[in-house]
């Protein structure tokens, strides 16, 4: 699933491509894609332009010159692909924004888990999961004190499970949670409320560092993820532990292990991230 760095990379790629392009037609090929708004409401966007591009956690948000708002969650395999010249429809294309200069923006999603919400500003509060997001690690307000307060609310939970909770840390997913825990030297099964102040500071710093580095590398691509220009990310070359089970730790040489935490696969170094 695209996480914060991937979604931010998609946002930046579209920000450079779509502003002030006039929409000539919007086609919805798969009605189940729409969580709010219907095909007629999308068709009514013809004649309008994209004006704003922002992101919250793993959600993409777009503004139009008629004050409508489009929220997109890519889920597992969703892609927003810009074509300078309109193309023949591909398998798994579910929506298309055509522009009056002949270009188009296509939503493609192999597994069809992604969702679109078309609403106004007030309706953003009704987008499932959006209004309950916690702070992002790159927010100015995100701090070790914030993290401590959030972790303290989950005294019986395992640390990694809490880090994946979008109401606690927005935008963090399985890839970057593993990498953050490794850099901070903290075991994924530690009690969320049992970290020392020093560990909380390391964890906070690691989140900021890892996400900043991943954005600079334009995200992580294993199979599905590409940006709006159909370009792959490069951070997979810098991963230390994610999906590296059975390989030597790059820091100490011990073999990386894989366990399941709250139903999610978790890779870690048993020497660098000792359980306490």
Residues 6+ apart with CB under 8 A from 203: 144, 147, 180, 181, 184, 186, 195
The catalytically annotated residue of 11, 58, 160, 218 is 58
DSSP 136-178: -TTSTT--HHHHHHHHHT-TTSBHHHHHT-TTTBTT--HHHHH
Q: Residue 111, exposed/middle/buried by CB under 10 A (0-12, 13-18, 19+)? A: exposed
Cα separation of the two ends of the chain:
31
Distance CA 7, CA 13 (A): 10
Active site residue 264: yes
| Matching residue, tokens 């966007």 | 45
Residues of each annotated binding site: 92, 111
The catalytically annotated residue of 3, 104, 189, 200 is 3
Report how many helices (DSSP H) and strands (DSSP E) the chain contains, helices first: 6, 11
CB-based contact 138:212 (threshold 8 Å): yes
DSSP-based three-state secondary structure for 64: strand
Residues 6+ apart with CB under 8 A from 51: 19, 20, 63, 64, 65
Residues of each annotated binding site for DNA: 92, 111
Active site residue 58: yes
The catalytically annotated residue of 12, 201, 232, 264 is 264
Enzyme catalytic residues: 2-3, 58, 264
């Amino acid at each position: 699933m695209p996480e914060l760095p991937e979604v931010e990379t998609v946002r930046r790629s579209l920000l450079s491509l779509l502003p002030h392009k006039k929409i000539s037609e919007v086609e919805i090929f798969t009605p189940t894609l729409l969580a709010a708004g219907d095909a007629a409401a999308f068709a009514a966007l013809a004649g309008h332009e994209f004006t704003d591009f922002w992101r919250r956690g793993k959600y993409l948000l777009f503004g139009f010159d008629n004050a409508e708002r489009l929220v997109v969650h890519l889920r597992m395999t969703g892609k927003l692909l810009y074509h300078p010249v309109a193309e023949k429809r591909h398998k798994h294309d579910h929506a298309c924004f055509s522009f009056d200069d002949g270009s188009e923006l296509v939503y493609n999603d192999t597994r069809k888990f992604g969702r679109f919400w078309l609403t106004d500003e007030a309706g953003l509060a009704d987008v499932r999961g959006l209004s309950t997001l916690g702070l992002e690690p790159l927010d100015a307000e995100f701090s070790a004190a914030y993290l401590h307060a959030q972790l303290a609310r989950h005294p019986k939970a395992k640390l990694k499970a809490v880090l994946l909770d979008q109401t606690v840390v927005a935008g963090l997913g399985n890839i970057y949670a593993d990498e953050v825990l490794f850099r901070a030297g903290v075991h994924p099964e530690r009690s969320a409320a049992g970290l020392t102040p020093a560990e909380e500071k390391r964890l906070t710093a690691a989140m900021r560092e890892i996400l900043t580095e991943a954005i600079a590398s334009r995200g992580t691509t294993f199979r599905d993820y590409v940006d709006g220009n159909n370009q792959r990310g490069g951070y997979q070359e810098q991963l230390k532990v994610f999906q590296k089970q059975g390989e030597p730790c790059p820091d100490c040489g011990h073999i990386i292990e894989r366990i399941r935490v709250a139903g999610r696969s978790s890779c870690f170094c048993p020497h660098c991230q000792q359980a306490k």
